[in-house]
Amino acid sequence: MARARARVSTRTRTRTRVRAVRRHIADACLLLLAAAFALPLAWVVLASVDPGADLRVRVPDSLTLGNFRAVLTPEITYTPLLNSLILCGCATALTVGCAALAAYPLSRFRSRLNRPFLLTILFATSLPITAIMVPVYALFVRVNLIDTLQGTILFFAATQLPFAIWLMKNFMDGVPKELEEAAWTDGASALQSLLRIVLPLMGPGLAVVTVFSFVMMWGNFFVPFMLLLTPDRMPASVSVNDFFGNRGMVAYGQLAAFSVIYSTPVILLYVLVARRLGNGFALGGAVKG
């Protein structure tokens, strides 16, 4: 008995050591992955206040706000940021609205066409943007939408709409249909139940779709670069290219300062919706009683 207990104890200690080693290896891998993401962010923050910024990640010898003063001009920052806010804000609102209207019948009504339609949407999300830009450019020239903010907004919304519909439908499936049926009994229409019951209850889903769509549009360089021609209409994602001069000359300090300013709207948007993202769905007891 004593030998058996000793063997069991030895096996238990061995398993504990193996698990501890695996845990340490996993922690080390996660730390390396976190460092890979943190180093570029650290370079942006440090280089933005470094008068002699270069490609090295280092603590500056002296701090300066000269890089921010150099980029805080209407031509470099204010006008491109305003264009980005107009483009991405309007396109995000259009995407979320159309996605909600498209996802509602897919979530609430069963049809033979639901699955083929969703698979077609999934296929549309896999198309590379470069493969469709040539026909889109020719179409925009024909309909006089080239070099217009409204044309770029429509194309932004069209490119983000497929995946937004997928996300919206998945979140909409989590809202109990019994709540809508009670509203229908009281005389509400399908549109009224969508606006007054489904969408308010899926606040986290709306927040996810909004943030995802806005972030994907905010960092898009290729689409506005192709569809907009006038410099005064270029968004910040395109104007950042102006910091890269000829023969490899780059104003690293100003580029970092502009990157900090450029990232601020996205960070503020996430902070504003963070509470909605953390609340989750608590509808389990909504149809009881």
Give residue-wise pLDDT tens across range 238-255: 988 877 765 557 788 888
| pLDDT reported for residue 285 | 39
| pLDDT reported for residue 99 | 92
pLDDT interval class at 38 (50, 70, 90): confident
Cα–Cα distance measured from residue 48 to residue 42, given in angstroms and rounded to the nearest whole number = 10
Q: Is the pLDDT of residue 153 over 90?
A: yes
Q: Is the pLDDT of residue 289 over 50?
A: no
Give residue-wise pLDDT tens across range 164-194: 998 898 888 888 888 887 888 878 787 888 8
Q: Which of 210, 208, 233, 212 is nearest to 223 (CA)?
A: 233
Q: What is the DSSP string of the chain?
A: -HHHHHHHHHHHHHHHHHHHHHHHHHHHHHHHHHHHHHHHHHHHHHHHT-TT--SS----SS--SHHHHHH-SIIIIIHHHHHHHHHHHHHHHHHHHHHHHHHHHHHHS--TTHHHHHHHHHHHHTS-HHHHHHHHHHHHHHTT-TT-HHHHHHHHHHHHHHHHHHHHHHHHTTS-HHHHHHHHHTT--HHHHIIIIIHHHTHHHHHHHHHHHHHHHHT--HHHHHH---GGG--HHHHGGGGB-GGG-B-HHHHHHHHHHHHHHHHHHHHHHHHHHHH----TTTT--
Low-confidence winner among 48-57, 87-96, 242-251, 266-275 (lowest mean pLDDT) = 242-251
| pLDDT reported for residue 185 | 81
Cα–Cα distance measured from residue 160 to residue 219, given in angstroms and rounded to the nearest whole number = 13
Low-confidence winner among 14-18, 94-98, 204-208 (lowest mean pLDDT) = 14-18
Low-confidence winner among 83-97, 109-123, 199-213 (lowest mean pLDDT) = 109-123
Average pLDDT along the chain: 83
List the chain domain ranges: 77-243
Q: Is the pLDDT of residue 151 over 90?
A: yes
Amino acid in position 246: N
Q: How many residues does the chain have?
A: 289
Tokens, residue 66: 């000269």
CATH match of 77-243 with 3.20.20.70: no
Mean pLDDT across the stretch 54-75?
A: 87
Tokens, residue 158: 């069209």
Q: Is the pLDDT of residue 19 over 80?
A: yes
Q: Return the percentage of the chain with pLDDT > 70, whole number.
A: 90
The answer to whether 219 and 136 are in contact (CB under 8 A) is no
| pLDDT reported for residue 284 | 40
pTM of the model: 0.80
| pLDDT reported for residue 95 | 95
